[in-house]
A and B are shown apart, each in its own frame.
Chain A
């Protein structure tokens, strides 16, 4: 499973995942995402798929033969499959602030780990939609001069998001570099 030589998946991601081959540099202290994000995503999943399941059961079942109600199994299956998947995906997300760069690691099947030196940061963006605000969440996205840099943290506690933003901006200024 973990032949990437990195931290164990799942489980205890809150603190102290250890990199196997990081060398002499400071060990990253990983933070996970707040539980509210998982709750929000699962709620959204339910909000979309439960009515869909009901509709898929009733509409063909009433209009055509009752046997067509089995089409409801499709959204229902999707719901049952996505529920644990969201959990796995949520557990896979984590980030670490090191002295000079920010690490973001995510993904279960398609794993991705991004390192952005603070000095390369051009812009830090904090976004929060209405649903996210209701769950007390805010997303942080970093932009560098390269558009391919995909450094975002989807949901954080707003206070933590602001702290991160301020810290990143401050560090970015201190270590700023041109192109």
Chain B
């Protein structure tokens, strides 16, 4: 099936773009430090044209669906650019995915209560079975079709609009300058069908605010367009700008990833639990159901933490583009995430005990509203730090951190040695963990509030904690600092985070 909803005014081909030759948009990215060895610019408009060719007749805004409420609310936008209210439907494969819902309910019931299901099944005659199918299948099909038919999305100059609902109408307006990240994900079945999900991470978006599914090429084109608009390109040119060129920063080899998974304590802990607990339970209870009920989740956890992690983090690629950081990964399910510049709230460099000899680290990042938190699953420290320097421009990870005073040992014996703090011009850096070291970096511009906390025992020792809250709902803590130092830190950090914002890049990063 084809996408029925090509953008109405997509140029038929790359050649007759109204504003000039296709080659020119290249210049618009001029401030990007990137030059493209691969994926040259002209490739993208051709892809765009590919969508246009396959398209069935276009559906203009006026042709059938009315967008009255939205129109009046946003008349400024639509006045500025007529193209802005073209509504699209999702890929026609979508109903099939939705049609699963009733079937899934049935299967869930059968799994939940196998005995009952067995009895019901034996009681079924052929006619009642056929009758049931005759009811369920059309219902499922109708449900799938209706949800698809009543789901529309449109891109305007300022927002992505998703309109859903037959009875209970719901329109999500997602403001483009508030984009924190864009995810394009392809579960295995979606890859087979050649479709993808697109999701904008904005604070407060739900699971249902994703566009599932779009054609693969359409999803890429839409991502490029959304990013171009969010970056501040003029609405007229946003569609022609195409995808920003990507320069690969890092690729994790499968062998290294496998070793890193094997060297993770959690993998072995869950595996050991899965192997030890069921026999023990069997000896204790001799009840098959108890053993199964305990063993299945345990094996599930063991699988998820070993094989699952390997499969999910396979072929991990981090790239840099003018649109921000690109993260692509996955063996079966593919995921492509784009984090625009200036959206990273916290970066954590984690160093598990068993990786230390090899000098490997894992880098995690927090973006407000985004679920993915891994930037680099495993990499040598120097390479990981160079990636961090790309994600937080101008930031170098301080080589050494200052430990709390020795008397901190009276508050947190032994582990106090894991704590550390450093403040540079750009970031607030705090470390915790003795065996599994974790260094968190917060750009000053991302600090939402600073708190100083002091319990009675800490007061007696003359120590205090300083918490730094970021917009991704993560708090970074400098533990057990000297009380005077902490009070000074509180004031200074408040100053720094207030002024830090001034030097930050604007939300529309190309504007």
Contact = CB atoms under 8 A, between A and B. Distances in A.
Interface of A: 1, 3-6, 19-23, 25, 100-101, 109-117, 119-120, 144-151, 175, 177-179
Nearest to A150: B451
B203 interface: yes
Interface stretch (B134-142, B253-261, B347-355, B468-476): B468-476
A21 B490 CA distance: 10
A19 B452 CA distance: 14
A21 B487 contact: yes
B455 A117 contact: no
16 contacts: A4-B454, A4-B486, A19-B487, A25-B495, A109-B455, A110-B455, A111-B459, A113-B490, A115-B491, A116-B448, A117-B498, A120-B448, A146-B475, A147-B473, A177-B445, A179-B446
Contacts of A175: 498
A113 B451 CA distance: 5
A14 to B, nearest CB: 22
A144 B448 contact: yes
A21 B484 contact: yes
A177 B368 contact: no
A149 B448 contact: yes
Contact of B449 (A3, A4, A23, A149): A149
A111 B498 contact: no
A102 B261 CA distance: 46
A148 B473 contact: yes
Given A145-B368, A148-B469, A179-B203, A112 B487 contact: no
Please name the 10 residue pairs, one residue from A and one from B, whose CB atoms are nearest each other, closest first.
Answer: A146-B469, A145-B471, A146-B448, A115-B494, A149-B449, A144-B448, A3-B462, A113-B452, A5-B484, A177-B501
B467 interface: yes
Contacts of B507: 178
A1 to B, nearest CB: 8
- Greatest chain B CB density within 10 A among A19, A113, A146, A147 is at A146
Contacts of A109: 455-456
B491 A114 contact: no
B380 interface: no
Given A110-B455, A111-B453, A177-B501, A101 B448 contact: no
Nearest to B367: A179
Contact of B483 (A3, A101, A144, A146): A3
Interface string B485-511: 011101111110110010000010000
A120 B345 contact: no
Interface of B: 177-178, 180, 203, 343, 345, 368, 445-456, 459, 462, 464, 467, 469-471, 473, 475, 483-484, 486-488, 490-495, 497-498, 501, 507
Nearest to B467: A148
Given A25-B491, A109-B455, 15 more contacts: A5-B484, A23-B491, A25-B495, A113-B453, A113-B490, A114-B452, A117-B449, A119-B501, A148-B469, A148-B475, A149-B448, A178-B177, A179-B343, A179-B345, A179-B368
Contacts, number: 117
- Greatest chain A CB density within 10 A among B368, B447, B454 is at B454
- Greatest chain B CB density within 10 A among A4, A147, A149, A175 is at A4
A32 B490 CA distance: 21
Contacts of B497: 117, 120
A150 to B, nearest CB: 7
A146 B448 CA distance: 6
A146 B501 contact: no
A110 B453 contact: yes
A178 B178 CA distance: 8
A6 B488 CA distance: 10
Nearest to A101: B494
A4 B448 contact: no
A135 B492 CA distance: 38
Contacts of B462: 3
Nearest to B471: A145
Contact of B487 (A5, A116, A148, A177): A5
A29 B445 CA distance: 26
Contact of A179 (B471, B488, B490, B498): B471
A21 B455 contact: no
Nearest to B469: A146
A62 B362 CA distance: 68
A110 B454 CA distance: 6
Contacts of B368: 145, 179
A78 B16 CA distance: 83
Nearest to B465: A112
A9 to B, nearest CB: 11
Given A112-B452, A113-B452, A115-B451, A22 B471 contact: no
A82 B183 CA distance: 53
Contacts of A22: 491
B491 A179 contact: no
A179 B501 CA distance: 9
Given A112-B451, A120-B449, A3 B459 contact: yes
B484 A151 contact: no
A160 B490 CA distance: 27
Nearest to A179: B471
A24 to B, nearest CB: 10
A22 B464 CA distance: 16
Contact of B469 (A4, A25, A149): A149
Contacts of A5: 483-484, 487
Nearest to B493: A115
